[in-house]
């Protein structure tokens, strides 16, 4: 038995090392070996579940965490990990139940309280979220993200005890730079609500500056924009093979962040034939990887070398993944915004797909992006110069796709949807091949979960107050106005 335990421990350590090094397949082999020796090893099911999460195989990860908990349900951190996987699988009530289970074991677990607050927002129960977020702060008074979300929900008044605590935390020795910028985002929200434009802009730009410093540097020449344009020419696209149409209709929604993509998905998913896929990862990860494997060329090069059979293989893998998530769906949306780089590949792999491209006033779009916290991998969202460059690249990329895939992409303007909701909704449904349904006008009554920062807005009827909102802060936004230059319509 001691020798067997030593072998198990050695395999676990080897699996962890492989995961740290990014060798996920080798790590999985180690975990399988352990389970062949000890089929009821709860720790390994948990580690394998984390591995599945890292590779975005959320359904498998949830099953593995569930198996770990069925063997040993005593660990609140595993209930939390299980809940996060359930959330990725859109199992919202199950997510809440798993988090509540974790609290029965460890009532003073701040991360569980915080995530329970987020789960309540995304499931349409935002009025219950502040209590959970405040519980997170009670158990961890320096929980910067909890203050940020409370401020985003307009639950912190200027000069309230929570406001005073944020100001105090910003002077705390040893506070991380990450917590600094998160708290500045919170203060920006609070000052904006109170009408203090100067303080709002001060804290917003300080949050942006600090987050930029914490974000990975972008190497020169790293943008794929020009390479994609050079690879996907009209001539190459006309000669390239295409896969067989999928058995359902994928609807890709692309655009800049904060441009109205969540609104469009809510409108579409209010239709009885449409399932909301939200931000699916498969196309950008697996399909591009398969292209590289088949052609030995990095995306975007090599697509013209793919045979019909190879394209069908990629299409079937995509279809199988989506149909496992949505087995009865006739139409499935995917609003992974980065898919705008992959529209040429979508045309070849999923020729019956529909692509909707959102446009919104550049200043309104970029102002909204700068106000919201995005993860550090999206560096352009907190750097004004990079944001202006990225916005121009988006516009140029979409013009390119219109040239090389004419009629494949429908442009929608956010402002037109606000002004003529029914007319633009009819245009949208007709493009997608959907019959008219009145429910699409009442999208705010759609009870689907929303896992983006737009969760509260899209649960309201159409409103126009966000149009031209940046003009109230014209003087404070001079750096953004200068960066966007001729794109600004005053």
Sign (positive or negative) of CA dihedral 470, 474, 476, 482: positive
| Nearest by Cα to 234 from 410, 407, 403 | 403
Tell whether the model's pLDDT for residue 374 goes beyond 60. yes
**Biggest distance spanned by C-alpha atoms of the chain:** 76
Say which CATH number the domain at 475 has: 3.40.50.300
Sign (positive or negative) of CA dihedral 49, 52, 58, 63: negative
| Angle at 143 (CA atoms; ends 140, 144), nearest 5 degrees | 165
| Nearest by Cα to 280 from 241, 244, 319, 309 | 319
**Rounded CA Rg of the chain:** 24
**Residue numbers of the domain that contains 381:** 225-487
Q: Decide: 328 and 434 in contact? Cβ < 8 Å.
A: no
Q: How many domains does the chain have?
A: 1
Q: In what order do the strands lie in the sheet with 409-413?
A: 274-276, 331-334, 249-254, 354-359, 409-413
Q: Report the distance separating Cα 404 and Cα 194, nearest Å.
A: 48
Query: For 297-311, what is each residue's pLDDT tens digit?
Result: 888 888 888 899 989
Q: What is the predicted pLDDT for the residue at 446?
A: 66
Tell whether the model's pLDDT for residue 459 goes beyond 50. no
- Report yes or no on 189 lying in a domain: no
**Mean pLDDT of all residues belonging to the chain:** 90
Q: Report the distance separating Cα 68 and Cα 66, nearest Å.
A: 5
Structure tokens at 184: 């500045």
Tell whether the model's pLDDT for residue 458 goes beyond 50. no
- Count the alpha carbons within 13 Å of 300 in the hemisphere toward its beta carbon: 22
Query: For 222-261, what is each residue's pLDDT tens digit?
Result: 678 888 999 999 999 998 999 999 889 999 999 999 999 9
Cα separations in angstroms, 328 against 275, 279, 323, 324, 325: 9, 19, 7, 9, 9
Strands 249-254 and 354-359: what pairing? parallel
Q: What is the predicted pLDDT for the residue at 124?
A: 85
Mean pLDDT confidence for 190-204: 95
Tell whether the model's pLDDT for residue 30 goes beyond 70. yes
- pTM score above 0.85: yes
Q: What is the predicted pLDDT for the residue at 460?
A: 54
> Residue 473 — very low, low, confident or very high, per pLDDT cuts 50/70/90?
very high
- Report yes or no on 398 lying in a domain: yes
Tell whether the model's pLDDT for residue 391 goes beyond 70. yes
In this predicted model, which residue has the larger pLDDT, 293 or 259?
259
In this predicted model, which residue has the larger pLDDT, 299 or 432?
432
Query: For 463-472, what is each residue's pLDDT tens digit?
Result: 677 888 899 9
Tell whether the model's pLDDT for residue 47 goes beyond 60. yes
- Report yes or no on 266 lying in a domain: yes
In this predicted model, which residue has the larger pLDDT, 55 or 67?
67
Cα separations in angstroms, 171 against 145, 175, 199: 17, 8, 17
- Report yes or no on 413 lying in a domain: yes
């Amino acid at each position: 038995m001691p020798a067997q335990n030593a072998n198990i421990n050695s395999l676990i350590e080897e699996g962890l090392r492989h995961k740290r090094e990014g060798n996920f397949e080798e790590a999985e082999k180690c975990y399988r070996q352990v389970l062949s020796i000890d089929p009821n090893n709860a720790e390994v099911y948990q580690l394998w579940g984390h591995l599945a999460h890292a590779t975005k195989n959320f359904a498998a990860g949830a099953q593995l965490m569930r198996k770990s908990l069925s063997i040993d349900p005593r660990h609140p951190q595993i209930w939390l990990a299980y809940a996060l996987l359930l959330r990725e699988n859109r199992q919202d009530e199950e997510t809440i139940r798993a988090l509540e289970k974790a609290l029965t074991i460890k009532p003073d677990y701040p991360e569980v309280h915080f995530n329970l607050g987020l789960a309540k927002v995304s499931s349409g129960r935002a009025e219950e979220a502040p209590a959970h977020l405040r519980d997170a702060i009670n158990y961890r008074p320096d929980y910067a993200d909890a203050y940020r979300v409370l401020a985003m929900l307009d639950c912190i008044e200027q000069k309230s005890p929570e406001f005073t605590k944020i100001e105090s935390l910003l002077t705390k020795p040893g506070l991380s730079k990450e917590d600094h910028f998160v708290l500045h985002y919170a203060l920006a929200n609070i000052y904006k609500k109170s009408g203090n434009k100067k303080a709002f802009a001060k804290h917003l730009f300080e949050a942006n500056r600090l987050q930029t410093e914490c974000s990975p540097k972008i190497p020169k020449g790293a943008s794929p924009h020009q390479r994609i344009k050079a690879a996907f020419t009209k001539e190459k696209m006309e000669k390239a093979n295409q896969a067989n149409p999928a058995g359902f209709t994928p609807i890709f929604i692309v655009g800049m962040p904060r441009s109205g993509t969540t609104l469009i998905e809510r409108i579409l998913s209010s239709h009885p034939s449409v399932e909301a896929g939200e931000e699916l990862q498969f196309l950008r990860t697996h399909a591009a990887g398969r292209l590289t494997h088949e052609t030995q060329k990095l995306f975007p090069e090599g697509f013209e070398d793919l045979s019909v059979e190879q394209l069908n293989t990629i299409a079937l893998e995509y279809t199988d993944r989506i149909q496992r998530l949505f087995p009865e769906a006739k139409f499935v949306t995917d609003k992974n915004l980065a898919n705008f780089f992959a529209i040429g590949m979508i045309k070849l792999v999923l020729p019956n797909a529909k692509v909707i491209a959102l446009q919104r006033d550049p200043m309104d779009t970029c102002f909204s992006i700068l106000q919201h916290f995005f993860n550090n991998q999206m560096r352009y969202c907190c750097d004004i110069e990079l944001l202006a460059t990225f916005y121009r690249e988006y516009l140029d990329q979409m013009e390119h796709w219109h040239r090389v895939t004419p009629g494949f992409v429908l442009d929608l303007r956010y402002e037109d949807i606000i002004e003529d909701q029914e007319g633009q909704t009819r245009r949208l449904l007709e493009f997608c091949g959907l019959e008219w349904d009145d429910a699409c006008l009442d999208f705010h009554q759609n009870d689907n979960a929303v896992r983006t920062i737009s969760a509260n807005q899209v649960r309201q009827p159409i409103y126009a107050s966000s149009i031209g909102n940046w003009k109230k802060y014209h003087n404070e936004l001079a750096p953004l106005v200068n960066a966007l230059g001729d794109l600004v319509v005053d």
